[in-house]
Structure 1
Amino acid sequence: MSDNFLEPQALGVPCPQCQCELQLKKGRYGLFVGCSGYPECDYMTAADFDPGTNVACPTCQQGKLVQKTSRYGRSFYACDRYPDCSYSVQLPPVAQVCPQCEFPILLKRKTAAGERLICAQHSCDYKSPLK
């Protein structure tokens, strides 16, 4: 790997906060995307950032569920209207209505036997057949 890889590399994408250019940077914990206007603008995100799932939030019906990472490095899916809406789930959501309780989303669970969809509502015990 060459030494110029350690220098920030321009991405040609404007920062959502200040409209400066975003850069791919190498930090203490690996690669990340940060604003070239740092320290005036402190916008940053993970290098492999996935903005969303295009699944509507079932509680507020206004936001979308987006993938986030906890402080312990685990992925979860939460409403993008946080802190107004604090809905979150641990498994990837799917925009399908539960046939048993009519809840608007199902969750994709991987098991040793295969992949199945389960209801996101704790009171419902719906599980789809194995795929």
Structure 2
Amino acid sequence: MTDNFLEPQSLGVPCPRCERDLQLKKGRFGLYVGCSGYPDCDYMTAADFDPGTDAACPACQQGKLVQKTSRFGNSFYACDQYPKCKFSVNLPPVQEQCPKCQFPLLLKKKTSAGERWICADDSCDYKSSIK
């Protein structure tokens, strides 16, 4: 009996550090993507890695908001310029300007009634109609 799902599977994507092939691997904490050149190259990332969104960071205007996972397993979106910029939000960002306060970022909030956009600025109480 063979366990093919335990053997590293090539993804056909070059490693950003050493240009060797990236592989889908299984570790004791689940699936991850790692370099085939291990231990010479120790590059790895989560198997469900999301490279980011198209939303620019409203705090520093230099970085992009990328999806990250907290130590408790919750997803959040933070600026990729961390630790220089510590802006983060808990809901998926949308690159739209708030019609009420002109803040450059809205958040996508899902409710039982449907989906709506809310302003990312804490001092603004803008909410769009349910879509």
TM-score bracket, shorter-length normalisation: over 0.9
Deviation at 1:42, TM superposition (A): 2.1
1:115 counterpart letter in structure 2: E
Task: Check if 1:5 corresponds to 2:5.
Answer: yes
2:7 counterpart letter in structure 1: E
CA deviation profile, 1:59-97 (whole Å, cap 9, x unmatched): 111111111111111100011111121111000000000
* Alignment-derived partner of residue 34 in structure 2: 34
Between the aligned partners of 2:126 and 2:101, the Cα distance in structure 1 is 8
* Alignment-derived partner of residue 107 in structure 2: 107
Deviation at 1:2, TM superposition (A): 4.3
Between the aligned partners of 1:2 and 1:54, the Cα distance in structure 2 is 42
Q: What do you get for the CA RMSD once the two structures are aligned?
A: 1.4
Number of aligned residues: 131
* Mapping for residues 79-90 of structure 1, pairs under 5 Å: 79-90=79-90
Between the aligned partners of 2:111 and 2:44, the Cα distance in structure 1 is 34
Normalising to structure 2: TM-score of the pair?
0.93
Between the aligned partners of 1:69 and 1:15, the Cα distance in structure 2 is 22
Unaligned segments of structure 1, at least 5 residues: none
* Alignment-derived partner of residue 92 in structure 2: 92
Unaligned segments of structure 2, at least 5 residues: none
* Alignment-derived partner of residue 67 in structure 2: 67
* Alignment-derived partner of residue 119 in structure 1: 119
Identity of aligned residues (%): 76
Between the aligned partners of 2:80 and 2:88, the Cα distance in structure 1 is 10
Between the aligned partners of 2:71 and 2:46, the Cα distance in structure 1 is 13
Deviation at 1:49, TM superposition (A): 1.4
- SS in structure 2 opposite 1:32? strand
- SS in structure 2 opposite 1:5? helix
* Mapping for residues 16-31 of structure 1, pairs under 5 Å: 16-31=16-31
Task: Check if 1:78 corresponds to 2:78.
Answer: yes
